[in-house]
Amino acid sequence: MKFFNPKPALLLSIYLLTGLVAFAQSKKVDFWLTNLDKSALFRQQPALPVQKLGKNTAIEVPVVSINTKKKFQEIDGFGFTLTGGSAQHLMGMSESARAALLKELFSTAGNGIGMAYLRVSIGASDLNEKVFSYDDIPQGQTDPEMQHFDLGPDRNDVIPVLKEILAINPKLKILGSPWSPPVWMKDNGDTRGGSLKPEWYDAYARYFVRYIQDMQKEGIRIDAVTAQNEPLHPGNNPSLLMLAKDQAVFVKNHLGPAFEKAKISTKIIVYDHNADKPEYPITILDDPEAKKYVNGSAFHLYGGTIDALSKVHDAHPDRHLYFTEQWMGAPGNFEKDFPNHIKNLTIGATRNWARTVLEWNLTSNPQNRPFTDRGGCDRCLGGVTIDGDNVTRNAAYYVVAHASKFVLPGSVRIDSGTNATIGRSPDEQMLNVAFLRPDGKKVLIVMNDSDAEKKFTIQDGGNFVVTSLKAGSVGTFVW
């Protein structure tokens, strides 16, 4: 996996002689910590004093070095999917409790973690009480002109919650993903599985257009859409099988031209499935007529390895990458889930060109409901669990918080690498990723992926700080 970009040992190769290190007391590095034993859960630590490299400075611990001259992708944001079930839990809270929780989730002020990106389902996902589309009509009928299109059930929960969130963060970006078209468009006439009939490709493109237009009328701008959630997983409810060749035809001959005709600037993102099939988006992007409408490719990680994103980037470096979903299973295992997602998503996905890192559902209730029948997820643990007005913050909350509060939209990933002590090989147990924010501040996220506490140095040009992390612990450093 491309977690690291180790450089040849850039070690400060001067051993202790006589000099003392000068402290630059006016400069501090802010430090937020999570430990696997939960002794610290995204807790701010005393700021670290910045030291200057002196003539006789000796550093004999691993060095995480920052290089602001080497830049990679811009970041759009970190967040979750606001499923219908998540919105339902939020709407079940008192107004004051909901307002306080949403402020914590979407503001950077105070204890806010500042999420800047959400994914929503176009129609129902498997975490709705019931399956629905926005154009459900009696069996045997069709509606190619979308005369019966209606946002329907989303007006009860998803739309009101989004409006409250946008009042807190008007710059929030929203990605829409469909789990299934209306059943009258499908060859099996069922919400589960089947494929989109070719004669309804144009109608389905109009369905997307109407969704974007009707959400805009509600004051909700959809920044991007994916053509299909998990197109190679027709066993969910709802779901759709959409092979790469079919998605290419749909995008280049129907969805792209429909957006162009309606003057819609919403981005089109392809694939939106596991990292074990990078050839799926590459096949679409290899078609220049399809590629001209495609902003990028989206990935999940229920299969494959995260470096597959870089394979797609290398094949088409002029198109973007997005990480859009990964679940945690109830009842949760903090000691495994938290480091796994930091390693593979927060660090792994961004080091492999992802502009977003999104966890799965934002909220759950103690029973992990609602979910659809015939395939809905009955073990999907939310970022937070809501029980009335009581809120429990789960592992995914802390995973997102370590990046979302500090890596603001418009930040750019910069080069960071791990150098070992003098005479040793690069230390690949101090996983890390770094960003340069629009305001000029730098953010470094470090995870100790070893089984012992480690002392290490963060080096930025002629300045450095020394700190340590327990085994499995994660620190976010800001200066």
SS3 275: strand
**Cis preceding-peptide flag for 438 (omega within 30 of 0):** no
Nearest to 4 by CA among 353, 415, 478, 308: 415
Return left, alpha or beta for 101; rule: phi > 0 is left, psi -120 to 50 is alpha, else beta.
alpha
Kindly report each contact of residues 366-370 with a partner whose C-beta sits within 8 Å and lies 24 or more positions away, as own/partner: 368/330, 369/85, 369/129, 370/84, 370/85, 370/88, 370/127, 370/128, 370/129
Q: What are phi and psi of 475, to 5 degrees?
A: -125, 140
CA 148 to chain centre: 33
Name the pairing type of β-strands 354-361 and 77-81: parallel
Catalytic residue among 60, 325, 359, 428: 325
453 catalytic? Reply is: no
Q: CB within 8 A of 449, min separation 6: which ones?
A: 339, 343, 428, 429, 430, 431, 472
Catalytic residue among 199, 230, 289, 453: 230
Q: What's the token pair of residue 418?
A: 């791990």
Burial class of residue 469 in the structure, from the number of CB atoms within 10 Å of its CB (0-12 exposed, 13-18 middle, 19+ buried): buried
230 catalytic? Reply is: yes
The answer to whether the CB of 208 falls within 8 A of the CB of 225 is yes
Query: Which positions are catalytic?
Result: 230, 325
